[in-house]
Copies of this chain bind each other. A is one copy, B any other.
């Protein structure tokens, strides 16, 4: 394997940044994600690569559902807050106010570019991330202009 070529080509796949939220029993998860892809038109489906050894993956496996909050341009500082584990404090997560999504009642951040409410249909548990395939149940736009492209942040996550 040409490791340098593999790294460069995997980093060439374009990605944006999102904050995924989920809840199961008394657990609330909120994490920055970037490996998101459309998976079907009818029904509308997406796939998300979620790191397996994380609290967020544990909660998603249990709840079989999540909300994908789209970060807007210029919301890099918010993306950074959700790299580490955060616990809700009242109706805030990492200082960001949230409300309940319409069906799942999972955290939605009203100042972002919008969100998708999703129900998990399949989990492919093969590498260090799981490929979580989900159907989109509901969608709503927010006031921010999206997406927040990974390339615009100077960070990389891939390779």
* Copy total for this chain: 2
How far apart are the CA atoms of A128 and B40 in the complex, in Å?
Answer: 5
A49 and B70 within 8 A (CB): no
In the complex, the answer to whether B126 meets A45 with C-beta atoms within 8 Å is yes
- In the complex, the answer to whether B35 meets A10 with C-beta atoms within 8 Å is no
Inter-chain contacts of A135 with B (CB < 8 A): 127
The reply to whether B9 and A141 form a contact with Cβ atoms under 8 Å apart is yes
Q: Hey, which chain B residues are within 8 Å of A115, CB to CB?
A: 9
**Contact (Cβ within 8 A) B10 A44:** yes
> Which one of A16, A38, A116 has the highest number of Cβ atoms from chain B below 10 Å of its Cβ?
A38
Alpha-carbon distance between A121 and B46 when the two chains are bound, in angstroms: 19
Provide a sorted-by-A list of 22 A–B residue pairs whose CB atoms are within 8 angstroms.
A2-B138, A2-B140, A2-B141, A5-B114, A5-B140, A6-B139, A8-B114, A10-B44, A10-B116, A12-B70, A12-B113, A13-B37, A13-B46, A14-B147, A39-B126, A39-B127, A40-B126, A41-B128, A42-B127, A45-B126, A124-B131, A124-B133
